Amino acid sequence: MQLDDLRIFSRVAELASFSQAADQLGITKGRVSTVVQQLEADVGARLLQRTTRSVRLTPDGEQFLERCKELLADAEQLQSMFQPLASGLRGRVRVDMPTILARDYSGPRI
């Protein structure tokens, strides 16, 4: 079970469509279907109820999706945890204050 597989499953579950998930992820519908089937085989449970017109989560699928989202969020946090800020903070700071305060206190210090 790979993180990419979990991302694919969660996208299918959120969109309730293999085709839309494939389009958004830029992969084939067959690849999406294969990944979901393999996940179901790995966990030993049916995660999605498929018909020709709809895709719905099974009760097991709902639990799996909830945990899947937590794992993906943890993975993203872990990945970004060790990435240093590329160039620190940048941008313009705008401070609104009364003219007298700016002229007498802030202006001379800046």
Instruction: Please indicate, yes or no, if residue 107 is contained in any of the structural domains.
Output: no
Instruction: Please indicate, yes or no, if residue 35 is contained in any of the structural domains.
Output: yes
Closest CA to 43 of 70, 9, 15, 13: 9
Number of domains in the chain: 1
Start-to-end C-alpha separation, the chain: 56
- Domain holding 44, by residue range, is 3-80
Question: From CA 14, how far away is CA 41, in angstroms rounded?
Answer: 21
What lies within 8 Å, CB to CB, of 22 at 6+ separation is 28, 29, 31, 32
Q: At 43, which CATH number?
A: 1.10.10.10
Instruction: Note down pLDDT in tens along the chain; length 110 residues.
Output: 788 999 999 999 998 999 999 999 999 999 999 999 999 999 999 999 988 888 899 999 999 999 999 999 998 888 877 776 655 667 787 878 888 888 888 777 77
